[in-house]
Amino acid sequence: MSPANKYSRWIKAEARRLGFSACGISKAGFLEEEAPRLELYLKNNYQGKMQYLENHFDKRLDPTLLVEGAKSVVSLLFNYFPSETQKHPDAPKISKYAYGTDYHFVVKEKLNLLLEFIREKIGEVDGRAFVDSAPVLDRAWAKKAGLGWIGKNGNLIMHKAGSFFFIAELIIDLELEPDQPIKDYCGNCTRCLDACPTGAIVAPKVVDGSRCISYFTIELKDEIPASMKGKFDNWAFGCDVCQDVCPWNRFSIAHSEPQFGPRPEIINMKKKDWQEITQETFGKIFQNSAVKRTKFSGLARNLMFLGDEI
């Protein structure tokens, strides 16, 4: 067994021990297939006012510009599918990933433990851990590493496991055994395209980010366009529609990470609780939660926009 193969086995075993659902490896290098797609995405202004997506174009496509001497990208998936969802059907909805502690804290800590393991087991290895916080095309790398395929909704879908996963990476200067991509299993299904409340999925695998409910309720800092009135399907933070309707998510199983456990004070909130939420209550309920990203002012704006919908 070659050192690259042996190291890869060690890393995957440790990733599993740390709670990651899957781990795949790809050779660090320029993402040729993604370059024209990213260029067209920006040209069509699908990024809306997410101007950070316009920055670091070259780094998004080449991890060796993020980590000097990078040889491998270790892609990891962490399940966040909850054991229970919001209790009151008429209450404003938030994405399932925001039910517990902010994933940036939880997954980043586990990534750092994995990097620490690599250094203890193998020796001096230089690298960086990424959790949705740098110019890394995580879905492209996860696909390249054979963890799944890109669905028509733009999400990475894992075969017989679904798409309710966080994606993270270690970019390191260690030669590892790369995995191979898997085939696309979407077939002729168009459920996600048909179900998107705002028509944000403009073509298979092409999402106009500037029309997505998650964009409006989280990323957009201005007023929500009046043209979107009545199209939010009661979502106050994020949106899970294109995942909820995906047939592959019938295979989703509840995660076992305590920090991602649904907070009772969130999933038990009634419509009235949401309508009467104050800055103080917001700070308590959503402490260390991904919902804090929109801030109280943003959440209040979203709830006001829903208006008669809630």
Enumerate the H helices of the chain as residue ranges: 3-17, 34-43, 57-61, 103-122, 138-144, 191-195, 213-214, 241-244, 264-267, 271-275, 279-285, 295-306
pLDDT, mean over the chain: 95
Quote the pTM value. Answer: 0.95
Q: Is residue 34 part of a domain?
A: yes
Q: How far is CA 158 from CA 77, 147, 151, 177, 181, in A?
A: 9, 6, 10, 21, 11
Q: Please give the DSSP secondary-structure letter assigned to residue 224.
A: P
- Give residue 307's pLDDT: 81
Q: Nearest to residue 49, comparing CAs of 218, 231, 206?
A: 218
Whether residue 222 sits in one domain with residue 159: no
Chosen domain end from 116, 137, 172 = 172
Whether residue 197 sits in one domain with residue 74: no
- Give residue 184's pLDDT: 98
**CB-based contacts of 166: which residues, under 8 Å, 6+ apart?**
77, 78, 80, 97, 103, 107, 131, 132
Active centre residues (catalytic): 132
- Give residue 296's pLDDT: 97
How far is Cα 55 from Cα 171, in angstroms, rounded to an integer?
Answer: 20
- Give residue 230's pLDDT: 95
Whether residue 243 sits in one domain with residue 110: no
Return the exposure string of 35-64: e unless at least 16 CB atoms fall within 10 Å of the residue's CB, then b.
eeebeebeeeebbbeeeebeeeeeebbbbe
Q: Is residue 183 part of a domain?
A: no
How far is Cα 293 from Cα 187, in angstroms, rounded to an integer?
Answer: 36
Domain enclosing residue 46, as ranges: 3-83+98-172
Q: Is residue 25 part of a domain?
A: yes
Q: How far is CA 125 from CA 69, 170, 205, in A?
A: 11, 11, 36
Enclosing H/E stretch for 167: strand 165-172
The residue type of 206 is V
- Tally the domains of the chain: 2
Q: Give the end-to-end CA distance of the chain in Å, rounded to a whole number.
A: 60
Q: Is residue 256 part of a domain?
A: no
Whether residue 57 sits in one domain with residue 202: no
Whether residue 167 sits in one domain with residue 31: yes
Any idea which residue has 């055994």 for tokens?
Answer: 177
How far is Cα 274 from Cα 231, in angstroms, rounded to an integer?
Answer: 19
Whether residue 198 sits in one domain with residue 113: no
Whether residue 272 sits in one domain with residue 155: no
Q: Do the Cβ atoms of 33 and 138 come closer than 8 Å? A: no
Whether residue 205 sits in one domain with residue 152: no
Whether residue 219 sits in one domain with residue 283: yes
Q: Is residue 294 part of a domain?
A: yes
- Give residue 309's pLDDT: 52
Residue 128: CB atoms within 10 Å: 16
- Give residue 134's pLDDT: 83
Whether residue 139 sits in one domain with residue 204: no
Low-confidence residues of the chain: pLDDT under 50: 310
Q: Is residue 39 part of a domain?
A: yes
Q: The domain spanning residue 56 has which CATH number? A: 3.40.109
Phi, psi of 201 (to 5 degrees): -85, 95
Chosen domain end from 172, 205, 231 = 172
Chosen domain end from 172, 205, 224 = 172
Q: Is residue 293 part of a domain?
A: yes
- Give residue 55's pLDDT: 86
Whether residue 164 sits in one domain with residue 35: yes
Whether residue 136 sits in one domain with residue 15: yes
Q: Helices then strands (H, E): number in the chain? A: 12, 10
Q: Is residue 217 part of a domain?
A: yes
